[in-house]
Amino acid sequence: MRVIIVGCGRAGSLLAAQLAAEGHDVRIVDRVARTRRLLPAGFPGQFHVGNGYSRTVLEAAGIEHADAFVAVTSGDNSNMVSARTAKETYRVPIVLARVYDPRRADLYRELGIPTIASVRWTVHEIHQMLLHRHLTPELSFGNGETLLVRSQLPGYLTGRRLTEFDMDGEIRVVEVTRAGRSLVPAHSTPAEPGDLVTFAVAATSLGRLRGFLDKELGT
């Protein structure tokens, strides 16, 4: 996966190092050249000096073939402009942005750009959102240990009781939207085609939930 990260501060450099160690193609953009020193020795990715909303800089970083874009500079305005450029101009499939002022989160949401706010779990949460792209959290609690995630159920689960999907201490079904109407499922409520289900899930179990939802019948 090619990931462009704008901002090589603490969060950006840690995320870049983690993704590069996993074999991803990582390109970092920062307007201050000396932030390169925050990257580990032998970092295999690219480093580009410039503004994260400059089309010239972004194209030099390969944004036209990027799979994901992450804006984690120290400024909300810079993050918003660069994230919108990635999403609206270059149609990058996954665009995430860090937000410091919680009042701006709704604006990002209206633009369809998931945001990350808490300093303590920024890197972990961005990493999870990149790898589990169709399970973007709707809401988080505490420092991100518990998430609310919505996903349409795959067809092979039709007819199963929704409570069968619960895993003690890890995953719990808390709501289902069916034909435009929301309901809290009873113990016997079966899954129906097109159900959009809300799960409360431990952040550490997001991968397990994804595997469960992606599982093909008979595998």
Residue 93: its pLDDT value, please? 84
pLDDT tens over the chain, length 219 residues:
899 999 999 889 999 998 999 899 999 999 999 999 999 999 999 999 999 999 999 999 999 999 999 999 989 889 999 999 999 999 998 888 888 876 777 777 777 787 776 544 566 667 666 665 456 667 778 777 888 888 878 777 889 999 888 999 999 999 998 877 899 999 899 999 888 899 999 988 887 887 777 653 333
**Residue 4, burial from CB neighbour count under 10 angstroms (0-12, 13-18, 19+):** buried
Report how far Cα 149 is from the mean position of its chain's Cα atoms: 11
Domain boundaries, the chain: 2-131, 146-214
Residue 130: its pLDDT value, please? 67
**Does this chain's domain 2-131 share its CATH topology with 146-214?**
no
DSSP 8-52: -SHHHHHHHHHHHHTT-EEEEEES-GGGGGGSPTT--SEEEES-T
What residues are paired with 51 via a beta bridge? none
Report the topology of domain 146-214.
Answer: Alpha-Beta Plaits (3.30.70)
The architecture in CATH of the region 2-131 reads: 3-Layer(aba) Sandwich (3.40)
Q: Are the C-beta atoms of residues 87 and 95 closer than 8 Å to each other?
A: yes
Residue 136: its pLDDT value, please? 64
Dump pLDDT digits (tens) for 115-145.
776 544 566 667 666 665 456 667 778 777 8
